[in-house]
């Protein structure tokens, strides 16, 4: 009888200890890691959506703006570079790979902006229904990219904070030694400059 009650007491103590560990944040590191991976997947999803729109946009503009070959070529090349970049498995913890990815996406954004600026010279194109629909989809996608990047930045902040503060730092060191601080998006030097306004 006494032996059974000791086993029950030991089992109860084990259950209480497991509940206490779960309550003290022992699972925060893997939970936040998974949130960060999910947010990163959404960023990639939105960039892919934009890349999928580019060929349709280019072919629509091409019919109207044959002499703008250079801008169209830049857009196509930037899209190819952005979509053909092989993302290493450790991209979120690899600053160089993350920067390459970010630079390729920024080049595509820049070339698309130049393309849309060129379109202003073609009134027929600006009123073309296909172009207007593609432009609206592209603008919507850019907004989705901004939101996905914001969400990713927030999840990385929570994850990195957990790895750098106590008790998360201790828990990660003991239970999750492979957990590393993740990279986040940076603003380009051009975007940090105040716009020049001329009247």
| pLDDT single digits (tens) 38-90 | 999 999 999 999 999 998 888 888 777 766 778 888 888 999 999 888 899 99
Average pLDDT, the chain: 84
For residue 183, pLDDT beyond 50: yes
Q: What share of the chain is helix, strand, coil (3-state, %, to 5)?
A: 80, 0, 20
What would the two tokens of residue 40 be? Answer: 């990163």
Which pTM was predicted? 0.77
What pLDDT shows up at residue 16?
Answer: 66
What pLDDT shows up at residue 15?
Answer: 65
Over residues 162-174, the mean pLDDT reads 92
Distance between CA atoms of residues 129 and 137, nearest Å: 12
What DSSP assignment string belongs to 157-195? HHHHHHHHSTTHHHHHHHH-TT--PPP-----HHHHSPP
């Amino acid at each position: 009888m006494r032996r059974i009650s000791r086993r029950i007491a030991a089992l109860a103590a084990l259950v209480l200890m497991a509940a206490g560990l779960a309550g003290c944040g022992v699972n925060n590191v893997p939970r936040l890691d998974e949130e960060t991976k999910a947010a990163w997947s959404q960023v990639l999803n939105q960039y892919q959506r934009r890349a999928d729109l580019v060929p349709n946009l280019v072919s629509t503009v091409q019919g109207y703006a044959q002499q703008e070959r250079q801008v169209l070529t830049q857009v196509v090349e930037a899209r190819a570079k952005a979509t053909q970049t092989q993302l290493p498995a450790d991209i979120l913890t690899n600053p160089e790979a993350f920067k390459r990815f970010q630079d390729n996406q920024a080049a595509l954004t820049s070339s698309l902006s130049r393309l849309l600026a060129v379109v202003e010279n073609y009134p027929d194109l600006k009123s073309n229904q296909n172009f207007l629909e593609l432009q609206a989809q592209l603008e919507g996608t850019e907004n989705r990219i901004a939101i996905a990047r914001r969400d990713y930045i927030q999840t990385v902040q929570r994850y990195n904070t957990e790895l750098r503060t106590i008790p998360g730092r201790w828990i990660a060191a003991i239970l999750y030694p492979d957990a590393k601080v993740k990279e986040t998006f940076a603003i380009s030097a051009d975007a940090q400059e105040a716009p020049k306004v001329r009247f």
